[in-house]
Structure 1
Amino acid sequence: MKEIVAIIRSNKVNVTKAALDSIGYPGMTGFAVLGRGKQRGIAGECGFSIASEVLAKAQTAGMKFIPKRLLIVVVADEDVDRVVSAIVSVNQTNQIGDGRIFVCPVEEAVRVRTGETGDKAIL
C-alpha cells in the first residue's frame, strides 16, 4: 500500500475528487493548508482582492504563505500510477503553483469498524 499526499490549488478540489471517484477511490482525507514553494508565493492564488501596492510588493518579495489543499489517499501498490495520473491530469495547468504529489509507503491499514487489514481496509 502507498499513501499519496497531494498539495493542490483550492479551486481544484472538486474536480480532483471526481477524478479519483471515477477510478474507484472515492475516499480521501483533506485539509486546508498554507504554504509556498520555491516561487515564494503567488498573490493571484488568493480568493480575495489585494491592494495594488501590496500586490506589487508580493511580486518582488513573495507572500509568506498561500492557501492550498492537502489531500491524502491510501491506495493499493498497483494503483499508484493510475491515481497519480488522475490527480495530475486535472490539476496540471503548466503554471507555477500547480502543486506537488508525494508517494509514501504504508506498512499497514486497519478498518476500525470491521477489523479488516491490508488492502481490504482501504477498498
Structure 2
Amino acid sequence: MKEIIAIIRPKKMGATKAALEELGFPCFTAFAVIGRGKQRGIASEVACELPAEVQGQGRSRGMKYIPKRMLNIVVGDADVEPVVHAIMTVNRTQQIGDGRIFICPIDDAVRVRTRESGEHAIL
C-alpha cells in the first residue's frame, strides 16, 4: 500500500475530486493548508482576501504563504500510477504553483469498525 499526498490549488479541488471518483477512488482526506514553494508566495496565485500575516504585511515581493489543498489517499500498490496520473492531468496548468505529489509506503491499515487490516481496510 502507498499513501499519495498531493498539494494542489484550491480551485482545482472539485475537478480533482471528480477525476478520483470517476477512477473509482472517492475516499480521501483533504486539508486546507498554507505554504509556499519556489514561487515564494506570488500574490497573483490567490483571488481572495487574506489576513495581513498571510500576505506578508504588504511586502511587494509576494506573500508569506499561499493557500493550497492537501489530499491524502491510501491505495494499493497497483493503483498508484493511475491515481497519480489523474491528479497530474487535472492539476497541471504548466504554471508555477501547480503543486507537488509525494508517494509514501504504508506498512498497514486497520478499519476501526470491522478490524479489517491491510488492503481490505482501504477498499
TM-score, normalised on structure 2? 0.89
Which ranges in structure 2 are unaligned for 5 or more consecutive residues?
Answer: 51-57
1:82 equivalenced with 2:78 (yes/no) = no
For residues 1-30 of structure 1, the C-alpha deviation after alignment (integer angstroms, 9 at most, x for no partner) is 000000000001111011111111100000
1:28 equivalenced with 2:28 (yes/no) = yes
Structure 1 stretches of at least 4 aligned residues deviating more than 3 Å after TM superposition: none
Q: Residue 17 of structure 1 aligns to a residue in which SS?
A: helix
- Counterpart of 1:105 in structure 2 is 105
Q: Residue 78 of structure 2 aligns to a residue in which SS?
A: helix
Letter in 1 for 2:112: V
Choose between structure 1 and 2: higher helix proportion.
Answer: 1
- Counterpart of 1:48 in structure 2 is 48
TM-score, normalised on structure 1? 0.89
Q: Residue 73 of structure 2 aligns to a residue in which SS?
A: strand
After superposition, residues 10-29 of structure 1 pair within 5 angstroms as: 10-29=10-29
- Counterpart of 1:91 in structure 2 is 91
- Counterpart of 2:55 in structure 1 is none
Letter in 2 for 1:71: L
Equivalent pairs: percent with the same residue? 61
- Over the aligned positions, Cα root-mean-square deviation in angstroms equals 1.4
In 2: Cα distance, 1:22 partner to 1:42 partner: 33
Shift of 1:62: 2.7
- Counterpart of 1:122 in structure 2 is 122
- Counterpart of 2:53 in structure 1 is none
For residues 36-95 of structure 1, the C-alpha deviation after alignment (integer angstroms, 9 at most, x for no partner) is 001101212223269xxx48x1xxx23100100000000000010000000000000000
